[in-house]
Every structure is written in C-alpha cells, then in structure tokens.
Chains A and B, each alone.
Chain A
Amino acid sequence: MSGESVGIQEQTEGRYVDLRRIDLLESIQDEDQTWAKLAPRWCVTNPEPPWKVCLDATCDCLSAGGALDNLERRHAEDELETVYSAIPNPERQLLTLAHIMVSRGLLTEEELARQISAVRARLEAV
C-alpha cells in the first residue's frame, strides 16, 4: 500500500463531511454500470444519463429549501473526491450527494437501503 493511499484512508474527518466510507454506497460502485460503459453498450450517444437532470434538480431543491446549501455541498464533494475517485462523474456526483446526506443525518443508511430495494422492485417488476 502506498504512503499516499494510507494518508487518504486515515483521514476520516473533513471540514464539511465525514469521510468514513459508507458500506451501502461502497456496494454501488460497479463501474460497468456507469453511463460511460452503459451508453456505448446500447449505442446511445447522449453524453449524460437521463437521471442527471433529476440529480441536478435534487441538488437545487435541497439548497433552495435550506436542507443542503449548494456551496457547502460543493465543498463536501471536493473533500469526497478521493473516496469515490474510482467512479467517474456524474455517478460520483450522485454517490457524494448520498454520502453527504447520510453524513449530515438528512437520511439514514437504513432508510436509503430500504428505499433502494423498493425502487428496484418497482422498476424491475414485470
């Protein structure tokens, strides 16, 4: 293990967000499911996934409602860059948003896991 990675892993307290890894989000880092891999697999040329607009809207809504200021979110995103460096954007932006919301108590890991299961069941229903 390199000295640099030790230094990054040892740092758990950012100024804007708790940098400790979240098991649930660690399990959602399959690079094969990122838009950069999905889009060419299906011959789609749109540079961004359809959900990117919704993600931006969620960030704007959280800021407008006072739950998570956009500037603070950006600072926290910067701090989390090394935690999610293996995943490209916009997936990284999504993971960091979820991380920040869990870290700040806006939602819990359990609630998020439950909702993910519910959404998955709904979307995959035949």
Chain B
Amino acid sequence: MADKHKDGDHHHSGDHGHDHAAAPMVDEISDFEILELAVRELAIEKGLFTAEDHRAFSEWNDARSPAAGSRMVARAWTDPAYKARVFDDPLNASKEVGVDWSEPSGFGTTSDYMHLTVLEDTPTLHHVIVCTLCSCYPRPILGHSPYWYRAPNYRRRIVRWPREVLAEFGLIVPPEVELRVEDSNAKSRFMVLPVRPEGTEGWTEDQLAEIVTRDTMIGIAMPKPGRTTDGPRPIHRASRPVHSGGRPTEAPK
C-alpha cells in the first residue's frame, strides 16, 4: 500500500511512483527551437546584448499575463476609491496589483512606454483598442498581445468597420451604444475597463477577476458569468496585404 507523504505541495507515493500523471512534454527538438537558440547565441557572441540582459528580459516576459489587468478591473468594480485611482494614476494603480511599469530596466522596455490610460465603458459607450501603426499593447498589465491583434487585417479594418469587425469576433454592439476605437500611439497604451455584468452581485474580487479575460480588456468581448476564457480567434489573412508606408499590392488583373 502506498505510504503517502508530502514534500511542500508535491505529493508522492511511498514506492516513489507519482500518484498523479506528470504534465506531458514535447520530447522532440524542432528546427524552430534550434533557430531561436542560434539567433540568440549569435547576437550575444556579437555583443548586441549580453546573456544577463537576456535573462532579465526573459524573466520579465515570462511573468506577463492578463491576470494583473483582470485584478485591476475586478478591484475597480468593487472598490470605488481604487477605481478613482485607476483613472487618475493608472501606473500607481498597477503597482497595487503587483505591476511596476518601470521594470525590468528602471524605465520599462523600449516598447512599453510608461503611459497608460484606462478607458471606462458604460452602458451607452463601448471602447476597443488597436494599434494601427504596429502592435503597441499594454504588455506590463495585459501580457503579450494575441496574434490577431498584431495582424494587419485587424489593425486596418477595426478603425474602418469597427462594428463589423467586432461582430466577426462575436460581439454585437447595439446601434444605440456609441463605439470608440482607441488607437495606441508611439507612447500611449490603453486598456478597457468593461461594464460589470449583471448576475455578479455579491461576487468577490477573485470571482470577478475570473470573468475579466484578456479580450474583454481589449474590447472585443464582454465579461459575463460563466465566461472565464477567451476562445481561439480566427486570423483572417488579407487578400491584398498592405505594406508599411506603401500602397496595397496591386490586385490581380
């Protein structure tokens, strides 16, 4: 009979056979894994950056997730004083949920300028964010941007046909609700503070944070009870890709 003991949070059986299955891993070396390592090592060898720089940025990147943003929204929903700070001083409000925008260098990263604006949705006003220039995104508080956010197709179309594009994501914004698309610029980052949904009365901050997903803080989805994850989003390839600073590729004659 297995004699169970506990090492920290990790349970073992007495015969050293684990009583739970280890998470599966990819036991295969891909060309892409090799390429990533080769590029990185060459860059270090050439002095473009140091291994220490890379370690610091890797740790920073690894710690990014939308969880901090979710916490910020949930707390704003339950604490009016905190909500006021979210709008008045969002960087300090970020610190209260564990995010220091000055990390990892002391002045942020070169693509995460220390300027955040939180956009408040109301029952008659809905916001959605984009970066038409490239893919500016509030990484410190929301983690890494999804690929569709970076795709030229989204960046180009959301500013021209916002209601139609949101409908493609499954979000129908009623005509009586004003829609504002906020375009990030070189030094400004935005996130959406959505409307707290009905049916969440009496919920704790933890419960509320679970339904504040990444997509609800971008503005392409609404939080609602029971919806705790963002489903995969389709990436529509442009039939006529637009090149930066240039004209659209000529359509076939």
B244 close to A75 (CB less than 8 A): yes
Question: Knowing A57-B61, A78-B152 touch, does A28 contact B42 (C-beta < 8 A)?
Answer: no
Interface string of B36-79 (1 = CB under 8 A from A): 11111111001011000110011011100000000000000000
Q: Which of B6-14, B23-31, B116-124, B216-224 contacts A (4 or more CB under 8 A)?
A: B23-31
The answer to whether B165 has its CB under 8 Å from any CB of chain A is no
Question: CA A118 – CA B34 in complex, angstroms?
Answer: 9
B53 close to A65 (CB less than 8 A): yes
Inter-chain CB contacts under 8 Å: number = 184
Main secondary structure of the interface of A (DSSP, over half): helix
Q: CB < 8 Å: which of B23, B27, B36, B49 contacts A94?
A: B36
Interface string of B205-241 (1 = CB under 8 A from A): 0000000000000000000000000000000010111
B27 close to A51 (CB less than 8 A): no
Q: CB < 8 Å: which of B38, B105, B245 contacts A119?
A: B38
Q: CB < 8 Å: which of A49, A60, A71 contacts B134?
A: A71
A14 close to B36 (CB less than 8 A): no
Question: CA A56 – CA B61 in complex, angstroms?
Answer: 7
Which residue of chain A lies nearest to B155 when distances are taken between CB atoms in the complex?
A78
A-contacting residues, B181-217, CB 8 Å:
186
Question: CA A61 – CA B42 in complex, angstroms?
Answer: 13
B62 close to A79 (CB less than 8 A): no
Question: CA A65 – CA B239 in complex, angstroms?
Answer: 36
